[in-house]
Amino acid sequence: MGKINQPNSQIRLTNVSLVRMKKGKKRFEIACYQNKVHDFQSGVEKNIDEVLQIPQIFLNVSKGQIASSEDLKASFNTTNIDEIILEILKKGEIQLSEKERAQQNEKLHKEILNIISAKCINPKSKKRYPPTMIDKALKELKFNFVNARSAKSKSLEAIKLLVEKQIIPIARAKLRVKVILNTETFNKVKSEFENEFISFLENSEIVDDNTQILFLLEPENYKPLGEKVKSMKGKLELVDSAVIQEGEIKL
Domains and CATH numbers, the chain: 16-95 (3.30.1250.10), 98-172 (1.10.10.900), 174-243 (3.30.70.240)
Which residue, 38, 35, 32, is CA-closest to 51? 32
Distance CA 83, CA 211 (A): 60
The number of CA neighbours under 13 Å toward the Cβ of 107 is: 7
Q: What is the pLDDT along the chain (251 residues), one digit of tens a residue?
A: 444 444 434 455 556 788 999 988 899 999 988 778 778 877 888 888 888 888 899 999 888 899 999 999 999 999 999 999 999 988 888 887 777 778 888 989 999 999 999 889 898 887 889 999 999 999 999 999 877 678 888 999 999 999 999 999 999 888 899 999 999 999 999 988 888 898 888 999 998 899 999 999 988 889 999 999 999 999 999 998 767 655 444 45
In Å, how far are 158, 164, 172 from 128, measured between CA atoms?
A: 16, 18, 10
Query: 169, 128 in Cβ contact below 8 A?
Result: no
* Residue-level pLDDT at 9: 40
Q: pTM, whole model, 2 decimals?
A: 0.56
What value, to the nearest 5°, has the Cα angle with vertex 71 and ends 65 and 76? 125
* Residue-level pLDDT at 6: 46
* Residue-level pLDDT at 140: 95
Sheet with 210-217: strands ordered across: 200-207, 210-217, 174-182, 235-243
| The one-letter amino acid at 43 | G
